[in-house]
């Protein structure tokens, strides 16, 4: 069931108990977790934090801990699948689920006792009505006991006939109801999408209890920006949420404007910025950032020689000398940096890039440290999916979690370096895929497969990096192809996961349109295709559109997918 | 040392009985080396005692078997007596119940601390009888006094944020 008063029905319940937190491995979940941890530290709630990266890990961790805890909080996992069925908990266990995955499974919505959803109901949820899906079992087998003894045979016969008629009517109604139910459920569960960021939900809870701080606000901002970077929410929703957060930012950070009472430069300050869309540009050189941000790279078509020339034209148009632009951003001439944003926006408009600037936030503390929200998102994402040797999933999780605290700036900088590598590798892979025409049309969708020996292919075996690569590839492909029909097709991307086991990771991306609502149907499509061909697949990730597949079953799986979607 | 001592003894007897005064420097030399050896041995034993005393503060009143294996019977006896003396002292402080001074070696900043598990440990009992499973890389928020032992042993790590 949906929790209406987060404070009374959630926080005050867990305040006096020991709880177990299951946190999924994405940046939004990390931010929500940090906010919740800060609240728990305030109120001395004893908790245990367990990172989980998939359904299997969730199940094993639950089995280990179920005897010791009664209250479980799941962050960014668990809403889209029947929890009680998977975990088989005891009668008095209670789950609080704060998840962005939609659609929320109907069992989770209508279970009144054990599952409490920390989800705002004004999100467009469209949950089907109770009566359409559930029906209390009626007694329709006891007609034999209705006969009375000692009645005349003819009366009995007519009564029997009536009863038989009733039964057939009931059965027909029931079949019609079940057919309608299947249809409703199919429509409801067909498309996957994402709701409000969990970090924002947690921040809202903190605000309701008047325990919100600037740090928590920053984490909420990072959580929202993560959803935007990964294209999980629509542009309109992003702008609305930015507006909400902006109000909080001005509430917490208004002291700088007054000349007499300014804060010391070491205090944290969050400011609203209408800044450039270039990834990590303040920690990199402007040239590198232009080359490695998907938005600019795809529109300039930087994989071709012609595209490189256009980039040079663009820089010349703004009057920025190449030598300056290739230097580290912080060492660029101050005179050039002054009006940089406006200059770039103007020139970008001339070259067909209308949304060069985007609404976002930045944080400053001390003289040296200034970060945009997207910088932190990229850094944390790279830390979490780093493929350095001897680092297990949970090690990466702890590194990423630590990097979000202000006292661990060295980890954040390390993350920024990893992010640069990641972005560069992404762009190079995209360039090679497009130049060698690896993206082929299979009919109802485009397909691209990364070969074993591709450089940096191990970076793309993790789900988030692979999804990012696929999305950028699709965007670049849309700009590179002349075939009008191909521009509207979705993309399925495969990358090798483990050489010893012969598995590949498969990701499905919805088609790229200007006003797309970001709804992804590949989750269900993959499930059905796997069933129909009995391929050996593992639907382990919380995002159902990412699966693992045995390489040998790849071709029959793809054939099934083609026939399913055409 | 015994060999040196015997040689010295025989020389002394000889010097005394035969009046050979040229043996006296040898005797003196051997005597000095005996004294030096004795000093070294005593210093070594004293250092061991100091370390055993530190063990009480680090590990608590029950020492792990591996350590006990390396201590002699006399050292064990000394340890037990030290334990008793420390316990009597602690009982005499702080009113009726006494005060455990081996806790809180640094001034505590909060009642509860956030710890991260560095190694798999298994189940760990908390004050109200329930237990927590300590697996690698799980984080917990527990009362400070329960975690101190494990932090000292290196199983948990205090997370500062």
| Domain termination site, one of A375, A403, A425 | A425
* Domain stop point among A373, A404, A425: A425
- Residues B142, A44: C-beta atoms closer than 8 Å: no
B135 and A45 within 8 Å at the Cβ level: the answer is no
Q: Are residues A420 and A444 in the same domain?
A: no
Distance from CA of B63 to the nearest CA of A (A): 29
* Residue A421 to residue A461: CA distance in whole angstroms: 15
Domain hosting A381: range is: 255-425
Residue A427 region by backbone torsions, left for phi larger than 0, else alpha for psi between -120 and 50, else beta? alpha
pLDDT (tens digit, 0 to 9) for every residue of chain A, 566 residues total?
Answer: 888 888 888 888 888 888 999 999 989 999 999 999 999 998 888 899 999 988 999 999 999 888 888 899 999 988 888 888 888 888 889 999 999 988 888 888 888 888 998 888 776 677 777 777 777 655 444 444 444 444 456 667 778 888 888 899 999 988 998 898 888 888 888 888 888 999 999 999 999 999 989 999 999 999 999 999 998 888 889 999 999 999 999 998 877 666 666 677 778 889 898 998 888 989 999 999 999 998 889 888 888 899 999 999 998 888 888 888 888 888 888 888 888 888 888 888 888 888 889 999 999 888 888 899 999 999 999 998 887 766 677 888 888 888 888 888 899 999 999 999 999 999 999 998 888 888 888 888 899 988 887 778 888 888 889 999 999 999 899 888 888 888 888 899 998 888 888 888 889 988 887 777 788 888 888 888 888 888 888 888 888 888 988 888 888 888 888 888 88
Q: How far is B133 from chain A (nearest CA, A)?
A: 7
Asked if residue A505 and residue A417 are part of one domain, the reply reads no
Q: Judge if A419 and A443 occupy the same domain.
A: no
- Inside any domain, residue A212: no
ipTM of the complex: 0.73
Residue ranges per domain, chain B? 1-92, 112-158
pLDDT, residue A143, reads 42
Contacts of A47 in chain B (CB under 8 A): 140-141
B93 to chain A nearest CA, in Å?
29
- Does this model's pTM top 0.90? no
Q: Are residues A456 and A525 in the same domain?
A: yes
Contact A423, A378 (CB under 8 A): yes
- In a mutagenesis test of the A interface, which of B125, B128, B131, B133 is the best target, namely the one with the most A β-carbons within 10 Å? B133
Asked if residue B103 has pLDDT above 80, the reply is no
Same CATH topology for B1-92 and B112-158: the answer is: no
DSSP code per residue over A455-518: TTGGGGGSHHHHHHHHHHHHHHHHHH---TTGGG--EEEEEEEETTTTEEEEEEE----TT---
Indicate whether A317 belongs to any domain: yes
A209 found inside a domain: no
Q: Which stretch of DSSP H or E encloses residue A94?
A: strand A94-98
Q: Residue B114's beta-bridge partner residues?
A: B141
Structural contact between residues A515 and A523, judged by C-beta atoms closer than 8 angstroms: no
Q: Give the side-chain half-sphere CA count within 13 A for A58.
A: 27
Q: At residue B128, does pLDDT exceed 90?
A: no
Distance CA A314, CA A316 (A): 5
Interchain contact, A46 vs B142, CB within 8 Å: yes
By Cβ distance, the residue of B130, B137, B160 closest to A18 is B130
Contacts of A68 in chain B (CB under 8 A): 123, 130-133
In angstroms, the CA A161 to CA A145 distance is: 15
Q: What pLDDT score was predicted for residue A139?
A: 42
Count of domains forming chain A: 2
CATH architecture for residues B112-158: 3-Layer(aba) Sandwich (3.40)
In chain B, the residue whose alpha carbon lies closest to the alpha carbon of A404 is: B161
Measured between alpha carbons, how far is B104 from B101 in angstroms, rounded to an integer? 7
Question: Is A55 inside a domain boundary?
Answer: no
Q: What is the pLDDT, as a whole number, of residue A470? A: 92
Is residue A74 one of the residues assigned to a domain?
Answer: no
Q: Do A46 and B139 touch (CB under 8 A)?
A: no
* Closest by CA position to A50, among listed A74, A22, A12, A89: A22
Task: State the Cα–Cα distance between residues B144 and B142, nearest whole angstrom.
Answer: 6
What gap in Å lies between CA A7 and CA A217, rounded to an integer? 18
Across the interface, which of B112, B132, B137 has its CB nearest the CB of A398?
B137
DSSP annotation string for A256-297? GGSSTTPPPTTS-EEEEEEEE--TTGGGSBHHHHHHH-HHHH
Four-way CATH pick for B1-92: 1.20.58.1030, 1.10.1060.10, 3.40.50.2300, 2.60.120.260: 1.20.58.1030
pLDDT recorded at residue A260: 63
In A287-367, beta strands by DSSP E: 357-365
Q: Which residue has the higher pLDDT, B98 or A434?
A: A434
What CATH number is attached to the domain comprising A538? 3.10.310
Above 90 in pLDDT, residue B111? no
In a domain, A18, yes or no: no
Asked whether residue A344 falls in the same domain as residue A301, the answer is: yes
**CA of A394 vs chain B CAs: smallest distance (Å):** 6
Radius of gyration of chain A (CA): 27
Last residue of a domain, one of A425, A460, A479: A425
Give the closest-approach CA distance of B135 to chain A in angstroms.
9
Query: Alpha-carbon distance A166 to A172, whole Å?
Result: 10
Phi, psi of A437 (to 5 degrees): 55, 45
- Looking at the structure, tell me whether residues A408 and A502 fall in a common domain: no
d(CA A425, CA A430): 9
What pLDDT sits at residue A109?
A: 86
Question: A518 φ, ψ to 5°?
Answer: 60, 35
Residues of B in contact with A58 (CB under 8 A): none
Instruction: Based on the fold, state whether residues A466 and A538 are members of the same structural domain.
Output: yes
End-to-end CA distance of chain B: give it in Å, rounded. 58
């Amino acid at each position: 069931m949906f929790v209406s008063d987060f404070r009374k029905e959630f926080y005050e319940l867990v305040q006096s108990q020991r709880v177990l937190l299951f946190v999924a491995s994405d940046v939004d979940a990390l931010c929500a977790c940090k906010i919740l941890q800060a609240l728990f530290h305030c109120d001395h709630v004893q908790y245990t934090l367990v990172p989980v990266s998939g359904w299997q890990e969730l199940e094993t961790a639950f089995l280990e801990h179920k005897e010791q805890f009664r209250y479980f909080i799941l962050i960014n996992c668990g809403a889209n699948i029947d929890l009680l069925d998977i975990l088989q908990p005891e009668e008095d266990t209670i789950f609080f689920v704060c998840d962005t995955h939609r659609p929320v499974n109907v069992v989770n919505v209508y279970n009144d006792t054990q599952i409490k959803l920390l989800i705002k109901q004004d999100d467009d949820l469209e949950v089907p009505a109770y009566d359409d899906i559930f029906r209390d079992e009626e007694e329709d087998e006891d007609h034999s006991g209705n006969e009375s003894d000692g009645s005349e045979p003819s009366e009995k016969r007519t009564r029997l006939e009536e009863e038989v008629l009733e039964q057939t009517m009931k059965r027909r109604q029931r079949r019609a109801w079940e057919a309608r139910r299947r249809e409703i459920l199919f429509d409801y569960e067909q498309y996957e999408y994402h709701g409000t960021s969990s970090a924002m939900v947690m921040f809202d809870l903190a605000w309701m209890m008047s325990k919100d701080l600037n740090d928590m606000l920053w984490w909420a901002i990072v959580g929202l920006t993560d959803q935007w970077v990964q294209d999980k929410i629509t542009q309109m929703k992003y702008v609305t949420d930015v507006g909400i957060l902006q109000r909080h930012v001005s509430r917490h950070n208004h002291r700088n404007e007054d000349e007499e009472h300014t804060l010391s430069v070491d205090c944290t300050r969050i400011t609203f910025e209408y800044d450039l869309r270039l990834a990590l540009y303040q920690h990199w050189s402007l040239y590198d950032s232009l080359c490695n941000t998907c938005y600019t790279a795809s529109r300039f078509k930087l994989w071709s020689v012609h595209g490189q020339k256009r980039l040079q034209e663009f820089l010349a148009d703004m009057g920025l000398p190449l030598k300056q632009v290739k230097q580290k951003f912080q060492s660029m001439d101050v005179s050039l940096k002054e009006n940089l944003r406006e200059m770039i926006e103007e020139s970008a408009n001339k070259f067909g890039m209308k949304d060069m600037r985007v609404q976002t936030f930045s944080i400053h503390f001390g003289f040296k440290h200034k970060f945009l929200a997207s910088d932190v998102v990229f850094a944390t994402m790279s830390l979490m999916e780093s493929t350095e040797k001897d680092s297990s999933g949970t090690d990466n999780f702890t590194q990423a979690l630590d990097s979000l605290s202000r006292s661990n700036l060295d980890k954040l900088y390390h993350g920024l370096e990893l992010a640069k590598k990641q972005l560069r590798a992404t762009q190079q892979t995209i360039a090679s895929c497009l130049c060698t025409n690896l993206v082929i049309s299979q009919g109802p969708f485009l397909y691209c497969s990364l070969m074993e020996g591709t450089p940096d292919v191990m970076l793309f075996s993790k789900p988030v990096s692979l999804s990012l690569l696929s999305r950028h590839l699709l965007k670049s492909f849309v700009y590179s192809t002349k075939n009008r029909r191909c521009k509207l097709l979705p993309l399925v991307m495969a990358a090798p996961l483990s050489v010893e086991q012969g598995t590949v990771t498969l990701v499905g991306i919805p088609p790229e349109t200007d006003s797309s609502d970001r709804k992804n149907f590949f989750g269900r499509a993959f499930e059905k295709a796997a069933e129909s061909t009995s391929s050996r697949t593992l639907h382990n990730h919380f995002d159902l559109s990412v699966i693992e597949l045995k390489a040998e079953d790849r071709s029959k799986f793809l054939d099934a997918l083609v026939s399913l979607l055409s | 040392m015994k060999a040196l001592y015997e040689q010295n003894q025989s020389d002394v007897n000889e010097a005394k009985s035969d009046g050979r005064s040229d043996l006296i420097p040898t005797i003196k030399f051997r005597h000095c080396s005996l004294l030096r050896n004795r000093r070294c041995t005593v210093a070594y034993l004293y250092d061991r005692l100091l370390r055993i005393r530190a063990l009480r503060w680090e590990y608590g009143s029950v020492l792990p078997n591996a350590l006990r294996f390396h201590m002699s019977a006399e050292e064990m006896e000394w340890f037990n007596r030290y334990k008793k003396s420390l316990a009597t002292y602690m009982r005499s402080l702080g009113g009726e119940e006494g005060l455990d001074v081996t806790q809180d070696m640094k001034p505590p900043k909060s009642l509860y601390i956030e710890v991260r598990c560095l190694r798999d440990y298994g189940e760990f009992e908390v004050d109200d009888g329930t237990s927590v499973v300590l697996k690698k890389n799980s984080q917990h928020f527990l009362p400070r006094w329960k975690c101190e032992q494990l932090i000292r042993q290196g199983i948990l790590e205090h997370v500062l944020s």
